[in-house]
Chains A and B, each alone.
Chain A
Amino acid sequence: MTATSRRPPADDPRVTLDEELGVFEPIPPYPPRTEREAEFYSLGDGEMFINMGPQHPSTHGVLRVVMKLDGEKVVDLDPVLGYLHRGVEKLCENADYHQTISQVDPLEYVSSLFNEWAPVMAYEQLLDIEVPRRAEYIRVLSGELNRISSHALFMGWMALDLGGLTPILWSFIERDEIVEMLAALTGQRMLFNYFRIGGVNGDLNHDFMSRLGDWMTRATQQIESNLTLLNENEIFVRRMRGLGTIDSETALRMCWTGPNLRATGLPFDVRRAHPYSVYPELDFDIPTRAEGDCLARYLLRLDEIKQSLRIIDQCLDRMPDGPIMAKLPRLLRPRPGRAYAAVEGPRGQYAAYAISDGTDQPFRLRIHDPSFIHLQSVGLLVPGHLIADTIAVMASLDPIMGGVDK
């Protein structure tokens, strides 16, 4: 392909469309389409709009939020999504079952293994496959490692969004070690493409095991020392306590799951409520906290890290021998039908709903993403707080825009 042919045609509508619509104005350049829009985009006395994003260092990606302010207080708030909409679900309809695994990888890009896990489980239900026990144990082991790395990232981001630079330097040490470990296992640092329908791609190898053993001997101590950076920081604790409080009833009504829901006091965990894989055989607690504020959401994730370490220990103890892949034909044609599978991701219930029409490509793959569910509650949590607290509340929900926009 020559250099000239790479230039877009002058009338390429995809590149110019958004500029024409003037996306940078806080107020959309069209008449209000809904009553909610008409209400939001009309100003009361002394109110003003401020636009945050889509390029903003604290929105965890490309979220855009239009805030209606009264002084420094947020009166109302309108998140604008779609800046990272990549059309994953549509691409999955045009890829065969194996290829969809790599398409769903970059959804929640800090916890890719869970993105693979749910669709793979749904496909296995469609195909009626039994996964070898060693493969299940490897899945749990690598998944829990990924959960720890995701929570470590959360810890750093949260502090960074509040203005502290130090914790992210510490938490990225943990994250990099885990990610390198998983790279030894899967071949990739972030978008692993490791789970297969009926098993996993590669067996545990020496490089991974030696890195893991090395890390496990000092993980607890390292994480504990990281915690003291923030947990005993009075500025941090006073800032986060009582911020963005939500009760368990409202949280359930907003379909919250995962650590955010458990921080309101409800011990709901997909690993226990709807057990899958080998989690019924493993011994771990479901930490909960009653407060339901930002601090609780933060502390709960730290408790989860400790539980994940327990699970990893047990996995290593009980790791059975055997095959890592079920015997399958190369080309998969599941019988027509529907399957739903949910896993407990680091952010909550991550689910996939697959419809098969008997061909080698899924007819439809629907991804249920917890980030999107939690982000929709920002409009409930934030109004009444200050602008700076908007950042803190959004950070504590830990949304990943790749998962929100899909």
Chain B
Amino acid sequence: MAKRGAQLALDAEAQGLGTGPADATQMGSDQPANRPGALVSREPSDLAEPIVVPNTLWTSTDPMAYGGGRPADITHLRDFEASGGGRRDDARWSGLLEVIPTRADYVLDLIRANSLWPLLSGLACCAIEMMSAATSKNDMDRWGMFPFRASPRQADVLIVAGTLTTKMAGPLVRLWEQMPEPKWCVAMGDCTCSGGRYKRSYSTVEGIDRVMPVDVYVPGCPPRPEGLIYGMMKLQQLIKDRRGHWPERAIGPTVPEGI
């Protein structure tokens, strides 16, 4: 509600969000799409209605073919969005996981547990220890945790290493949402577990489990690289223990007893 209100207030105050000249004719005429105001994102409801051209040219010989009996083959994007089908992440398995859920996940999770690809994302001090865990002396590669991916699209594990500030909270949640399922989150360091030494600050999030689900907590300020490796091994154990079923993700501690 507040979000909508803020958006409206902004719109009313600065229509077109005058980041450039107020008059659009003063812009480069060859690239109208580059007008700064055009780049600002709109609400989804601002999308135009789909244009449906009625068929007035010919009729089928079968009276049941169109408009009766069978539903239309074409799904409009909006209906597809509402159905939630686009949010399912079984694109690589083309629905196979619904047919043979237990056995396939059982095997796939064993594979996943032994090839965790973390996201190369460091926020603060702990990132250095994360790099130390990945380089020569403590070689995380030995347990199949190495290839740090720079893109969230290719990563399995988000190691949140360092203090999460309120300004960074939005981008971090966006990163987490960009990662494909199945995905896991490791909170590295006191700051991400509980706020740590910055718990009383006005600008930090007191534990990342306020904004995203967490599988493994690795306390320490910063934890030693061995601590991170231990946490990642716990994550592997957790993946193996949970294989075959995926509990609904919730913001807040989701770690079962004994892990």
Contacts and interface: CB of A to CB of B under 8 A. Distances in A.
Interface stretch (A22-30, A236-244, A334-342, A367-375): A22-30
A172 B136 contact: yes
A402 interface: yes
B132 interface: yes
A55 B159 CA distance: 13
Contact of A24 (B3, B174, B209): B174
Contact of A90 (B40, B163, B201, B224): B201
Interface string A1-33: 001101110011011111110111111111110
Interface string A104-135: 00100110000000000000000000000000
A41 B36 contact: yes
Interface stretch (B57-65, B83-91, B108-116, B121-129): B121-129
B222 A86 contact: no
Contacts of A170: 136
A62 B168 contact: yes
A44 interface: yes
Interface in B135-171: 135-138, 150, 152, 162-163, 165-171
A54 B171 contact: yes
B3 A190 contact: no
Given A106-B124, A169-B136, A190-B222, A27 B19 contact: yes
Given A42-B21, A190-B222, A402-B124, A20 B3 contact: yes
Residue of A44, A48, A402 with most partner-chain B CB within 10 A: A402
Contact of B204 (A45, A87, A179): A87
A190 B129 contact: yes
A87 B202 contact: yes
Residue of A8, A17, A46 with most partner-chain B CB within 10 A: A8
Interface string A166-194: 00111011011001000000000111000
B166 to A, nearest CB: 4
A170 B211 CA distance: 37
A86 B136 contact: no
Contact of B170 (A8, A19, A191): A19
A216 to B, nearest CB: 19
Contacts of A102: 197
B17 interface: yes
Interface stretch (B26-34, B93-101, B230-238, B241-249): B26-34
Interface string A80-97: 001111111011001000
A57 interface: yes
Nearest to A26: B39
Interface residues of A, number: 70
Contact of B137 (A22, A32, A109, A173): A173
A86 B163 contact: yes
A15 B206 CA distance: 10
A277 B172 CA distance: 43
A172 B131 contact: yes
Contact of B40 (A3, A12, A25, A190): A25
A61 interface: yes
Contacts of B51: none
Contacts of B150: 56-57
Given A6-B209, A87-B202, A172 B19 contact: no
Nearest to B38: A27
Contacts of B2: 11, 20
Contact of A8 (B10, B19, B41, B210): B210
A172 B132 contact: yes
Interface string B3-26: 100100010011001111100000
Given A29-B10, A31-B18, A7 B252 contact: yes
Nearest to A94: B200
B207 interface: yes
Given A3-B252, A172-B135, A8 B169 contact: no
B17 A30 contact: yes
Given A55-B175, A401-B124, A42 B198 contact: no
Interface in A29-88: 29-32, 38, 41-49, 54-57, 61-62, 82-88
A153 interface: yes
B210 A61 contact: no
Nearest to B14: A31
A103 interface: yes
Contacts of A41: 19-20, 36
A42 B124 contact: no
B253 interface: yes
Contacts of B19: 27-28, 31-32, 38, 41-42
A83 B167 contact: yes
Contacts of B229: none
Interface in B40-60: 40-41
B221 interface: yes
A86 B197 CA distance: 10
B203 interface: yes
Which 4 pairs, one residue from A and one from B, show the smallest C-beta to C-beta distance? A109-B125, A172-B135, A18-B170, A87-B201
Interface of B: 2-3, 6, 10, 13-14, 17-21, 27-28, 30-31, 34, 36, 39-41, 120-125, 127-129, 131-132, 135-138, 150, 152, 162-163, 165-175, 197-198, 200-205, 207, 209-211, 221-222, 224, 251-253
15 contacts: A14-B166, A18-B167, A20-B2, A20-B3, A43-B20, A46-B28, A62-B168, A84-B124, A84-B163, A87-B201, A90-B201, A176-B132, A190-B129, A191-B221, A191-B222
Given A27-B36, A48-B34, A106-B124, 6 more contacts: A23-B170, A43-B27, A54-B168, A54-B171, A61-B127, A190-B128
